[in-house]
Every structure is written in C-alpha cells, then in structure tokens.
Chains A and B, each alone.
Chain A
Amino acid sequence: MANIREIRERIASIKQILKITNAMYLISSSKLKKARKSLDATMPYFEKLQTTIESILEHTPHTRQFYFDKRQNIPDGKRKKGYIVITADKGLCGSYNHNILKYTEQELSKTSDIDNCYLFVMGHVGRMYFQNRMKNAKKAYVDGEFLYTTQNPTLYRAREIAELVLEKFEKKELDEVYIIYTDMVNPNQYEPKTVQLLPFSRRHFGKTADGTMKKLPKASFVPSPEEVMAYLIPNYAKGFIYGAMVEAFCCEQQARMTAMDAATNSAKDMIKDLSLLYNRARQAAITQEITEVVSGANGLE
C-alpha cells in the first residue's frame, strides 16, 4: 500500500520539526534564565525609581520646568503623539507579538488623528508589521531609522532611545510620548501596557495607598528645582525604558519557551497517532499477504 510510505514520510518530517522545536525550546529556556536573572537584578531599581520619583514630586514646589509642559494650547487633533513599541525580533513565540501589535492598534485607534502618530518600533516583527501597514491607507508614521534590537537590553541602548525621544520632545516634534511594552504580571501571565513618559505629569504616579496626599515638608533642591529636574527626568526616562526593555525581553523568551514546549508536545502526540496508523497499515498489509499466500497454497491442492 502506498499509504504506508506516505505515513512513514510524514512521521519522518514531523520528527525533523520536533527536533527544531525542541532545540528552540532549549535555547529559549536558557535565554530565559539569563533574562530572568537580569530582570531580577533590575526590578529593585525599576520599582525604586518610580516610587522615589513619586515621592520627590510630592514635595517638589511647582516648577515651570520644560518636561512638565503639557502644551495645552495645542488642540487634541493636532497633538503629535510618539509611541515606543517594544516587540520581538523573531516570530514563533506564541501570541506575544500578536498581543502587543493588537494592543498598539487599539491605542492608535483611540487617538483622534492617526496621521499625527509617530511610532518608534523596537524589534523586527513589529517594524515589518507597521511598515507594511503604512503602505495601506491608514497610516501612523514609522521612523525607519529607529533600528534597535530587543535582544539583550543594555543601558546604553536605553540611553540612546531616551535621548532621541527627549530631543524630539524638546524640538516640539512630539507633544506626547508613550511607551508600550509587555508587562510581566507573574511568570505565567503577561499583558501589554502603556505608560506615558512625557510630558511628565504628577497625576500618573497616583497617590498613597489610602488615597490621601502625604503632607511632606518641601525638600530643598541643589542647585535649583529646574536644574535638578532637567537632569532627573532624562535619567528617569532612560531608567524606565531600560526596565521596560528588560521586562519585555523576559516576557518574549517566556512566551517562546511556552510556545515551543507546546509545539514539541503536539509533535509528539502526532507521531504517536501516526505510528499507530502506520502499524495498523503494516499489519493489514501482512495479513493480506498471508491470506494471499494461504489461498495460493490452497489453490495448488
């Protein structure tokens, strides 16, 4: 029966793919270990950074600092919004990319004028997706020179990105800056999240747990609040971008590991089913042959 050969070839090709997915599983699990380690190392910094800035802002006198400027005179439809989107460099990581892209689409559709959205996409998959999309009618401008990988995040890369975005903000090429990344709720659950980076507002840091504003003495700023803020906010932006990069990278590896594990398992299941079919077909062939031989022998008598 030709069927037997077909099944055999099918099993062989599944085995090949199983090898690949298994190897990818191993690679991503070792990468995940590394990413998790750097995430654990950065987490205290990332969290402390937010709480400290929050408490600093609580006892900051009102400043006319540049980064706090909300530019309220610009109407809603004319505001140029920048989004830093962190995606993966490669596919094959389950719904990780899909989720972040869909989420970004949602965010973009919320804005009143999509033509005034500027995307700074990190990671190859997202860049390809949005550049393709740009060719269609609906467009959000993608910065083609914004080429950063999401692999192994470094503070250096975060600094470059922060500088670029801050510079655009200063030149009024952007009025609002958001960062969209995947947040790790717990090791098995991750979801996309948006955080506003600029302009810097006190509101988005929230209040204390019981909802009251803490009465704190005004802190003194050396040499002056403006100067400290001018220094502190780029620092905060950089730290935040770095933290987001580390977290997203960790999520990516986690997602890839889970996806590849599932792929390996279903490949194993398929092989199991197919070998059952194969054995049955083989057995049927043998039985048929025996019947043929026996009936042939019977015919000789």
Chain B
Amino acid sequence: MAKSFHLEIIAADRIFYQGECEHLVITAIDGLIGIMYGHEPLVTSLPTGELKYMVDGKWHYAAISEGFIEVMPESSIILADSCELPEEIDIKRAEEARERAEEKLRQKQSIMEYYHTQAALNRAMNRLKLSQKHFK
C-alpha cells in the first residue's frame, strides 16, 4: 500500500474530510493533478469540478466548487466554497438551478451578470454530472 498523507478538505459550511489519504486527484485551473505522499510544495486554485481521493484503496468522489489547495509533502489542505459527496447532491435542486441559469442566459445581461450565471450553470452541471456518474 502506498504511503499516506494527511488531507483536509474544508468547505465553507463544514469540515468535509479530515484524515489520511493515499492518493488525491484534483482538477486545477489547467488540468488534472495527482497528489501522493511527498509531493513538492504547491499552491493552486481549483475551479468548479470533480475531486477524488483514495482511502484504504478505495476511491471517494466529490463535487467541489471554487477553492484552492495548498500541498505540502506530508499534508494537503483544500479550502472550497462547497464540497459534496455524489449521494448528498440534491438532483432536483441542481436541475432547477440549471434551468434557471439557462433561462437567464437567454436574457440580455451585463458582463458581470453573465459571468455569475455562467458560474451558477457550471456548478449545477458539475453536480448533475457527478451524481449521474457515481451515484445510481
């Protein structure tokens, strides 16, 4: 078994995960990054996306929205706005959020509003994708 490192995933409304982890895969701004024990110090930001981490040889998946990660050789900290397991995702709510965002995108909006809606749409799509992929 691979050597494990300490991982903390902290969402704005709760501590999502705190404990040992063998392998972590995150989506950073410019692609996927895999992190194992002894990774070089690294700081990067995370857009809305998918995250997986391996505990005792088993992969766990989570939907994450906007945050950043600080990697140290023996520990990693992820701070994010929200983080959810696939089975925690409220599909109905995400569905509604997507429809709302799509509806809004059809309207004329200021650039800022446009970015907001796009971000909201992104979050909803990400949630839906993840729950469809891993929770059935």
Contact = CB atoms under 8 A, between A and B. Distances in A.
Contact of B11 (A45, A221, A235): A45
Contact of A48 (B30, B45, B79): B79
Contacts of A216: 41
Q: Which of B8, B42, B68 has the most CB of A within 10 A?
A: B68
Contacts of A55: 70
Q: Which of B11, B40, B70, B112 has the most CB of A within 10 A?
A: B70
Contacts of A221: 42-44
A219 B68 contact: no
Interface in B45-70: 45, 66-68, 70
A41 interface: yes
Contact of B12 (A42, A59, A60, A218): A42
A195 B52 CA distance: 36
B128 interface: no
Contacts of B13: 38, 41-42, 45
A281 interface: no
Contacts of A23: none
Given A42-B12, A227-B29, A231-B68, A220 B79 contact: no
Does more than half of chain B's interface fall in helix, strand or loop, or is it mixed?
strand
A150 B2 CA distance: 48
Contacts of A232: 43, 45, 68
A231 B45 contact: yes
Does more than half of chain A's interface fall in helix, strand or loop, or is it mixed?
helix
Nearest to B65: A155
A252 B111 CA distance: 36
Contact of B8 (A38, A48, A155, A223): A48
Contacts of A44: 10, 14-15
B12 A155 contact: yes
A235 B68 contact: yes
A60 B79 CA distance: 18
B92 to A, nearest CB: 19
A218 B43 CA distance: 10
B118 to A, nearest CB: 14
Contacts of B44: 221-223, 228
A52 B41 contact: no
Interface string A30-56: 000000001001101100110010011
Interface in B14-55: 14-15, 28-30, 33, 40-45
B81 interface: yes
A183 B12 CA distance: 18
B10 A48 contact: yes
B79 A52 contact: yes
Contacts of A218: 41
Contacts of A144: none
Contacts of B91: none
A45 B42 contact: no
A49 B11 CA distance: 10
B105 interface: no
A239 interface: yes
A261 interface: no
29 contacts: A38-B13, A44-B14, A44-B15, A45-B12, A48-B10, A48-B77, A52-B70, A55-B70, A56-B70, A60-B43, A155-B12, A155-B81, A218-B41, A219-B40, A219-B43, A219-B70, A219-B71, A220-B41, A222-B28, A222-B30, A223-B30, A223-B44, A228-B43, A228-B45, A232-B43, A235-B45, A235-B67, A239-B12, A239-B79
